[in-house]
Amino acid sequence: MRLAEIDWTVIRGASIFLAVALVVSGALAGGAHYFNQQSQTMHKQEQGKLASFRARFLALDEERKLIESFYPRYQTLESEGLIGSEHRLDWVETLGAAARNIKLPSLRYDINAQDTHTPDFPMPSGRFEVFVSEMNLQIGLLHENDLLNLFQQINTQVRGHFSVNRCQIRRKQEGMVMNATHENLSAVCGLQWLTIRQPEEGA
């Protein structure tokens, strides 16, 4: 067939249609690739969010378990006076009541200002801090058991926790005078009243 015999109008129309089809196909392929990339990106983002939500849920669940395990003990320590503000008035009233009950010949005391306490051993305290109030006692005793009875009664009746960090006893004279108002012995003792609270809380 000679070139002069070709119907160029038909070929031109088919060529235009083919070119348009190729452009549309390319656009569709490009669009499909773009949307596929976008879908993968969104999928990864959603997976990241899901993993974050899962981690937060597990953390909250673990926190709930810790609260259920330790909160009753926390409430007990709080009611006993170890956690929270110090209870100086209760300490003094309990000390006086115990001295009267035992019939101590004499009892004098003073309490220093509360200060932070550094334990002798490493102790993780989290958000809390240990505070201490030093109490100095000068006690007149009829006999040695008066001192043990005093500490025992304070320990069982007071709202608070204390430790005896020093105690010196000396005899005031030879022999024993069995009179409830007589001081056969004198004792000088130091008590540490411990309180646990967050540093920003009031004393």
User: For residue range 64-118, what is the model confidence (pLDDT) as tens digits?
Assistant: 777 777 778 777 878 878 888 888 999 999 999 999 999 999 999 999 998 887 7
Q: Compute the average pLDDT of residues 48-74.
A: 75
The pTM of this model reads: 0.61
Residue 6: its pLDDT value, please? 52
* Domain definitions of the chain by residue range: 1-79, 88-197
* CATH code for the domain defined by 88-197: 3.30.70.60
pLDDT in tens, 107-117: 999 999 988 87
Q: Quickly list DSSP for the chain.
A: --GGGS-HHHHHHHHHHHHHHHHHHHHHHHHHHHHHHHHHHHHHHHHHHHHHHHHHHHHHHHHHHHHHHHHHHHHHHHHTTSBSS--HHHHHHHHHHHHHHHT-SEEEEEEPPPEE---SS----TT-EEEEEEEEEEEEESSHHHHHHHHHHHHHHSSSEEEEEEEEEEESSSS----TT--SEEEEEEEEEEEEE-TTS--
Q: What is the pLDDT of residue 31?
A: 66
